[in-house]
Structure 1
Amino acid sequence: MQIPLDYYRILGVPLQAEDDLINQAFEDRMVQMPRSEYSQYAIASRQNLIKLAHSVLQNEESRQQYDDQIFPSNAEAIINGDGDMDMSIDDAMTLSETSIPNPTIDVDGDLLLGALMMLQELGEYELVLNIAQSFLEGKEPLEQISSDTNELQSWWQDLILTVISAYLDLAKEKWHQKEYENASLYLLSADAILEQQNVFNHIRQEIDSDLQKVRPYEIIELLTKPRSQLVDRQKAIALLQKMLDSRGGIEGQKQDQSGLTTDDFLRFLQEVRTHLSPLEQEELFKQESQRPSLAATYLTVNALIVRGFVERKPELIVQAENILVHLNQYQDVYLEQSICSLLLGNITKAENLLNQSYETEKVDYIKNLSQGSPDLVPGLILYTENWFKNEIFPQFKNLDRESLSVQEYFNNPRVEKALEQIAPPEMPPMDEEDPLSLLKDYPPETDDITEEETTSTPSLPTPNLSKIPEPSEEDNEDSELLDLSSFLEAEIDTEESEEETSPSMESMEDDNDEEDIPSSTSFKSSLIGLLIVVVLLGIFSTLLYRVFNQTDSGDLQLSLGESLIELPEELPNQESTTEEPLSPQTALELVNGWLEAKALATGPDYNVGALEGVLADPLLSIWRGNISILRNDAAYRRYEHDVTIEGVNVNPQNNMEANITARVRERSQYFNNGVLDNQRSYEENLLVRYDLIRVNNRWLIRNTQIIN
């Protein structure tokens, strides 16, 4: 077999090397030892190759024959520096390197392994993998290596070890080049081969350790790609979930092999959050809260409130409000409860909750903003907007351009209609054996609110708090506004109290008792409850007018956590009122994002969530139905796509609407119960029109039409 090597490279000497240098290089090479896992057969193969190179180059006659064989006709002038050529040694080396295309040596079975090991030592990792791949895939017969079964088995393990070493060295290169995803891919490739061959388990442990070290950097890299795709983000979130599992959750005391201390990990998690959307955080922390986890539960609440406010979905704020009722057993979250009540139009409840808070500094701030007003609503509205601006929005991706105005929120027609349909639920006594029983009746998230919808709808999964310790009796007067770190401190320092009830719970129960009085008699009627909500909205509209015509405002100085990992600087956001144009490149990314989401949603995992942020109704509802049919039939599809954009048009009368014309080559395989169905599979070349609508500064596809 021809291997791209030459004897000079094997010994590591220049072309013009003298005999003394050649002999010294030979001795150095012979004493160098490869990895200890190599067999004696591999070590002997490497040494025999070195001896062969030395035997040729140390003899003047054989060296000249070798040079004439692989070098051009003027080799003697290049190597010896004599003749008619007037050049320096550096020039001679440059000429020799450009004049020799690819010198090779012919090696038999005994020397092949040594040649691969030598290429590995010389840093030719990709070349090692290319040559070894033919053996791994069975394209090269092993009989040419040896007819002895035991010797062949030893040779095979040595070959696997050489391939693994090449992958590991490539991973190190990518690590130093800060290409963390590629480093991880090389490590995973090495691990897959070792798992398949069931050899060198101790090296697998080393690989696993390296994978965990590179994991936090890979997560940040995937989330901060300039044009990160849906698949990249899902991969990053999956890796983060693995880290959380290894550490036993956010508050977990287990140590993974990432090298991050508990404090480092929390700072890292705070950094990751700034690159996740509200929906991504909600899904991640809702699952994490099932451990149970107070911190994850609170982060879920933040995501629900943000989504409810930004997406104009009060039903999500109702979910957050119900969860906060139970979080108040462990930490003072009356301010957050008050904000939820405010955004649901329940002014009286918002003010009552605010007065129960032990966050005296924040409450005093709100009272100062409300001077001259008969209630605390003006200050609470301004505080809420500051809370979103300084504390909440910076912890989510792409919220810098979202409106902070509470007035705009209430002026939204969808919010008005949703609030009319959200009747205050009657709060039954809490079941001590099932503290989550009160969370079963909050309204679910809906895409559109219609006149026919009611509040008697099934609930979504809620965080599991049933295993959390009893609340502590610590004095909360000096506590700060609840955040991730304060939740961790509260959970770590909590002591069980079985006979006494905390002040916060007593005040909450008293407040609930007062609110339940009217519901025990004639106010049980849902119609009357609805009228109460309408009246409250009218009162609140009057208050809003008064608040937003005041000139006083103030900013809270709330600090954010420091980053653990330095990230590449992102382009500054353009403070412009004009929307980003829909360019052909943006259109290509949009269509590719939809096709990737379709492949995930119709695949074996039925990832319907992949459609969020890509489609809008009616197309979103149509595809949800299609996926439901596939699931019921125990079927799924696999797709391959190739897209060419042919036209991009924005509606001149309405810049919130646009369309894209694209040529799409689509190949789809249909599987039923895991078996390929060729009759339902297809490959088509289509011209497709995509109708778009801009929602929250993001283009979504709301309809498609096949032109031909």
Structure 2
Amino acid sequence: MAVAHVNMSPTAAFAVATSSFSCSSCYVCRNWKGDLRRGEGQRHSVVLGLGEGSGIGISICAGVSRVFGKRSCFNVRRWVLNATDTRRLLDNAPPRTTTASTTVNIPLTCYQLLGVHDRAEKDEIVKSVMHWKSAELEEGYTMDAVVSRQELLMDVRDKLLFEPEYAGNVREKIPPKSSLQIPWAWLPGALCLLQEVGEEKLVLNIGQAALQNPDAKPYIHDLLLCMALAECAIAKSSFEKNKVSIGFEALARAQCLLRSKTSLGKLALLSQIEESLEELAPACTMELLGMPHSPENAERRLGAIAALHELLRQGLDVESSCRVQDWPCFLSQALNRLMAKEMVDLLPWDDLALARKNKKSLESQNQRIVIDFNCFFVALMAHVALGFSSKQTELIKKAKIICECLMASENADLKFEEAFCLFLLGQVYFPFLSFFSIYNVF
């Protein structure tokens, strides 16, 4: 099975998370570096290098609890019995072996795998190993990953207790060995441990580099699950810091990871992530639209506008449902954060205004719930402003249509706005507006 690698930008993350949650690409870690080296003879190892870290801001409670809630109560033995059998999931996968003929070098210390300080005493190391051996695992790992995790724990314990090269020496200022050479079959167990001890960036960087290597093919299920859980942990940390957009993007990447492998698509975690994304989309959209207008925020802003458009499409669709609770408040705040051109391009305002005139239609009634008079008036002014500044008579004509429809459907007094549109179109003359003629607007 080949895993696609496409750069997942913030705009793509929004497109994935808001367009009925469909995804055709999987995660790609930004700025990763992979270094493949072959030794002499039949033995060879792969060195997985780490890329430079990249920065991956409303309080959020709804939805997040589904993904980060309390783990279900079960013991490890019962869980192991229900673990997924990889041999039934991978198509044409080569037989797994744990021999040292093919190994992988991972750039970390044994201490990092256990989540302890490099000055930890031997009794602390033993306690840590026993703790992780009996720890509950997340749902979805294969039996092979469970076994490799246990074997790796024993190997790390022995290295720290009996091999000074890996333990280092604080008194003599000898640092512990900063790389581990393990069989490929142990890599899922290593990433599982790293995710458990909170080394999310290491999980993502090592996992991404490993996926580039053909030797990782039999372990893709577990590698992708480790990376998805790491993204969920990043999302949880971001939500706790009220950084909604960053957490949203991390959840969207986790969604793509899980969807890139058929066997992972059956996990309850995926449906929980999708429901959380749906609930968080309005808050994330609002946060991104409020960011300063700068080149570094341009791509995220495009994603937020696309998300806003999708939310509006769902809200205006009679047969769809949307998680926005207070549409007039939400849309009013969103429009206040848009430029005139962004507002004009957001919706076919003139068509919506024409449909609004038929007060008895279901479409018109549903539209009034989503778009109130004030939002339509703001859109009307945006058409006038952009049409005047860019000398586009078509926009002024649309503004006139919106104005006429609002007067008919809302009984609003918009005679001045209508007259102004007529003047700009040259259909009426007002002496007190004659100063506009010096610009030769149209």
TM more than 0.5: yes
The answer on whether the counterparts of 1:282 and 1:299 sit within 8 Å (CA) in structure 2 is: no
The 3 A distance-change label for structure 1 pair 41 and 318 is closer
Per the alignment, residue 226 of structure 1 pairs with 292
Give the Cα separation in 2 of the matches to 1:111 and 1:168: 23
The answer on whether the counterparts of 2:109 and 2:176 sit within 8 Å (CA) in structure 1 is: no
1:271 aligned to which of 303, 323, 333? 333
Give the Cα separation in 1 of the matches to 2:171 and 2:175: 15
The 3 A distance-change label for structure 1 pair 175 and 254 is same
Residue type of the alignment partner of 2:163 = Y
2:177 is the alignment partner of 1:141 = no
Structure 1 spans left out of the alignment, 5+ residues: 58-62, 79-95, 144-151, 351-376, 378-405, 418-447, 450-708
The 3 A distance-change label for structure 1 pair 16 and 136 is closer
2:190 aligned to which of 111, 115, 118? 115
Residue type of the alignment partner of 1:77 = R
Residue type of the alignment partner of 1:340 = E
The answer on whether the counterparts of 1:222 and 1:236 sit within 8 Å (CA) in structure 2 is: yes
Give the Cα separation in 1 of the matches to 2:321 and 2:306: 19
The 3 A distance-change label for structure 1 pair 184 and 18 is closer
For residue 260 of structure 2, give the secondary structure of its aligned residue in structure 1. helix
The 3 A distance-change label for structure 1 pair 43 and 226 is same
For residue 199 of structure 1, give the secondary structure of its aligned residue in structure 2. helix
For residue 109 of structure 1, report the CA deviation from its aligned partner.
3.2
Per the alignment, residue 470 of structure 1 pairs with none
The answer on whether the counterparts of 2:166 and 2:177 sit within 8 Å (CA) in structure 1 is: no
The 3 A distance-change label for structure 1 pair 132 and 12 is closer
1:331 aligned to which of 410, 429, 438? 410
Question: Which residues of 2 match residues 60-99 of structure 1 at below 5 A?
Answer: 63=161, 65-67=162-164, 69-70=165-166, 75=169, 77=171
Per the alignment, residue 418 of structure 2 pairs with 340
For residue 239 of structure 1, report the CA deviation from its aligned partner.
0.8
For residue 193 of structure 1, report the CA deviation from its aligned partner.
3.3
The 3 A distance-change label for structure 1 pair 113 and 279 is closer
Give the Cα separation in 1 of the matches to 2:188 and 2:111: 19
Cα displacement string for residues 500-548 of structure 1 (whole angstroms, at most 9, x for unaligned residues) = xxxxxxxxxxxxxxxxxxxxxxxxxxxxxxxxxxxxxxxxxxxxxxxxx
The 3 A distance-change label for structure 1 pair 174 and 12 is closer
Per the alignment, residue 212 of structure 1 pairs with 278
The answer on whether the counterparts of 1:314 and 1:344 sit within 8 Å (CA) in structure 2 is: no
Give the Cα separation in 1 of the matches to 2:422 and 2:380: 15
Per the alignment, residue 38 of structure 1 pairs with 141
The 3 A distance-change label for structure 1 pair 157 and 169 is same
Give the Cα separation in 1 of the matches to 2:337 and 2:275: 26
Per the alignment, residue 285 of structure 1 pairs with 347
Give the Cα separation in 1 of the matches to 2:108 and 2:304: 41
The answer on whether the counterparts of 1:3 and 1:115 sit within 8 Å (CA) in structure 2 is: no
Give the Cα separation in 1 of the matches to 2:108 and 2:387: 65
Question: Which residues of 2 match residues 342-357 of structure 1 at below 5 A?
Answer: 344=422
Per the alignment, residue 500 of structure 1 pairs with none
Cα displacement string for residues 483-503 of structure 1 (whole angstroms, at most 9, x for unaligned residues) = xxxxxxxxxxxxxxxxxxxxx
Residue type of the alignment partner of 1:301 = L
For residue 107 of structure 1, give the secondary structure of its aligned residue in structure 2. strand
Q: TM-score, normalised by structure 1?
A: 0.39
Question: Which residues of 2 match residues 647-662 of structure 1 at below 5 A?
Answer: none
Give the Cα separation in 2 of the matches to 1:318 and 1:232: 32
Give the Cα separation in 2 of the matches to 1:102 and 1:141: 25
Residue type of the alignment partner of 1:4 = P
Per the alignment, residue 413 of structure 1 pairs with 437
The 3 A distance-change label for structure 1 pair 316 and 140 is closer
Cα displacement string for residues 144-164 of structure 1 (whole angstroms, at most 9, x for unaligned residues) = xxxxxxxx4xx4312221122
Residue type of the alignment partner of 1:196 = S
The answer on whether the counterparts of 2:195 and 2:203 sit within 8 Å (CA) in structure 1 is: yes
The 3 A distance-change label for structure 1 pair 314 and 193 is closer
The 3 A distance-change label for structure 1 pair 115 and 274 is same
Per the alignment, residue 245 of structure 1 pairs with 313
Residue type of the alignment partner of 2:304 = A
Residue type of the alignment partner of 1:206 = Q
The 3 A distance-change label for structure 1 pair 51 and 330 is same
For residue 34 of structure 1, give the secondary structure of its aligned residue in structure 2. coil
Give the Cα separation in 1 of the matches to 2:302 and 2:119: 55
The answer on whether the counterparts of 1:223 and 1:275 sit within 8 Å (CA) in structure 2 is: yes
For residue 103 of structure 1, give the secondary structure of its aligned residue in structure 2. coil
For residue 291 of structure 2, give the secondary structure of its aligned residue in structure 1. coil
For residue 411 of structure 1, report the CA deviation from its aligned partner.
0.3
The 3 A distance-change label for structure 1 pair 222 and 414 is farther
Give the Cα separation in 1 of the matches to 2:334 and 2:380: 17
Question: Which residues of 2 match residues 350-429 of structure 1 at below 5 A?
Answer: 410-413=434-437
The answer on whether the counterparts of 1:171 and 1:184 sit within 8 Å (CA) in structure 2 is: yes
Identity percentage of aligned residues: 23
The answer on whether the counterparts of 1:4 and 1:102 sit within 8 Å (CA) in structure 2 is: no
2:256 is the alignment partner of 1:192 = yes
The answer on whether the counterparts of 2:403 and 2:418 sit within 8 Å (CA) in structure 1 is: no
Give the Cα separation in 1 of the matches to 2:236 and 2:423: 57
Give the Cα separation in 2 of the matches to 1:182 and 1:112: 28
For residue 29 of structure 1, report the CA deviation from its aligned partner.
1.6
The answer on whether the counterparts of 1:305 and 1:340 sit within 8 Å (CA) in structure 2 is: no
For residue 198 of structure 2, give the secondary structure of its aligned residue in structure 1. coil
Give the Cα separation in 1 of the matches to 2:402 and 2:333: 25
Question: Which residues of 2 match residues 552-631 of structure 1 at below 5 A?
Answer: none
The structure where strand makes up a greater share of residues is 1
Residue type of the alignment partner of 1:108 = P
The answer on whether the counterparts of 1:285 and 1:297 sit within 8 Å (CA) in structure 2 is: no
Give the Cα separation in 2 of the matches to 1:55 and 1:101: 14
2:174 is the alignment partner of 1:130 = no
The 3 A distance-change label for structure 1 pair 199 and 410 is farther
For residue 263 of structure 2, give the secondary structure of its aligned residue in structure 1. coil
For residue 317 of structure 1, report the CA deviation from its aligned partner.
4.5
For residue 241 of structure 1, report the CA deviation from its aligned partner.
1.0
Cα displacement string for residues 635-678 of structure 1 (whole angstroms, at most 9, x for unaligned residues) = xxxxxxxxxxxxxxxxxxxxxxxxxxxxxxxxxxxxxxxxxxxx
Structure with greater Cα Rg? 1
For residue 32 of structure 1, report the CA deviation from its aligned partner.
0.6
Give the Cα separation in 1 of the matches to 2:263 and 2:255: 10
For residue 409 of structure 2, give the secondary structure of its aligned residue in structure 1. coil
For residue 240 of structure 1, report the CA deviation from its aligned partner.
0.2
Residue type of the alignment partner of 1:42 = A
Q: TM-score, normalised by structure 2?
A: 0.59
For residue 2 of structure 1, report the CA deviation from its aligned partner.
2.2
The 3 A distance-change label for structure 1 pair 31 and 309 is same
Give the Cα separation in 1 of the matches to 2:190 and 2:129: 16
The answer on whether the counterparts of 2:225 and 2:257 sit within 8 Å (CA) in structure 1 is: no
For residue 38 of structure 1, report the CA deviation from its aligned partner.
1.1
Give the Cα separation in 2 of the matches to 1:317 and 1:337: 15
For residue 2 of structure 1, give the secondary structure of its aligned residue in structure 2. strand
The 3 A distance-change label for structure 1 pair 190 and 12 is closer
Give the Cα separation in 2 of the matches to 1:299 and 1:76: 67
